[in-house]
Amino acid sequence: MYCAHFGLRESAFNLTPDPDFVYADAQHQAALDALVTALEHGEGFVKVTGEVGTGKTMLCRRLMGCLPASVVTIHLINPRVDSRGLLKDLAIELGLTVDEGANEQALRHQIEGALQHLTGYGHRIVCCVDEAHALPIESLETLRLLSNLETHKRKLIQIAFFGQPEFDALLSTPPLRSLASRVGVSVSLGGLPYPDFRRYLKHRLVVAGWQGPRVFSDGAAQLLWRASGGVPRLANVLAHQCLVRASAHGVHHVCLKDALQVCLARWRAFGLTSRSPAAWAAS
């Protein structure tokens, strides 16, 4: 809607986790480094938790993209499956031909054979589970049992969980205490601090093709940061609406008043917080 007005090749604030728009702030880079190091040292389980929109899926994709070529990565993105469904998805990701009538035991045997084969050829296998908070307890227990498979030197499969804070609560329940005790590294993601938030807005505009002067005023950026809590996904929603508003008014600059109107509209529709945008602007 605003691309032509700003001379952009594409929308600067899409919600899709596009790797071209990755902004490597200190928080996410530290999380990535911690995960890579833990996996290199043979940890069976690692996990990342954070609220909706804090960049977990992007971090998951960055992790898979930066691992050595010798590492076979598996990405499970449909966790709302029972134990058999999870084993079936895992087998398919490993390139196995799955018999529709195969039971859990047969699937587990098939997967174990594939893991042993890959490990024998010098590969490590890392399974990244997105939306891990949605996994049923029985499926989490299945993953724990798979992690028991190992040679005398290392695990046959390593598992990285990415989920909302509810996943931490789930792991604290008695049925999962054994799995929780095996998590070697736990990372928590939050919103961007204000300096990173400013750079984030500029970064996305530049990647999209913007070559003009600064778009968001100090006041507008500060308000968007407060309204979004620094969470990238919500920031994208608000920034997108700001650019739509600027385009409609024929300007290339977003001032505090514009950002306030956008935040007020969002607040009225969804109730972002108990405090109104007017209160944020005044604080």
pLDDT digits (tens, 9 = 90+) for 137-182: 999 999 999 998 887 778 999 999 999 999 999 999 999 999 999 9
pTM for the full predicted model: 0.88
Q: Taking 70 as the threshold, does the pLDDT of residue 279 lie above it? A: no
Q: What percent of the chain has pLDDT over 70?
A: 95
Domains of the chain: 3-16+192-282 (no CATH), 26-189 (3.40.50.300)
Q: Taking 70 as the threshold, does the pLDDT of residue 277 lie above it? A: no
pLDDT digits (tens, 9 = 90+) for 194-218: 999 999 999 999 999 999 999 999 9
SS3 annotation, the chain = CCHHHHCCCCCCCCCCCCHHHCCCCHHHHHHHHHHHHHHHCCCCEEEEEECCCCCHHHHHHHHHHHCCCCEEEEEECCCCCCHHHHHHHHHHHCCCCCCCCCCHHHHHHHHHHHHHHHHHCCCEEEEEECCHHHCCHHHHHHHHHHHCCECCCCECCEEEEEECCHHHHHHCCHHHHHHHCCEEEEEEECCCCHHHHHHHHHHHHHHHCCCCCCCECHHHHHHHHHHHCCCHHHHHHHHHHHHHHHHHCCCCCECHHHHHHHHHHHHHHHCCCCCCHHHHHHC
pLDDT digits (tens, 9 = 90+) for 41-87: 999 999 999 999 999 999 999 999 999 999 999 999 877 789 999 99
pLDDT band per the 50, 70, 90 thresholds, residue 245: very high
pLDDT of residue 276: 52
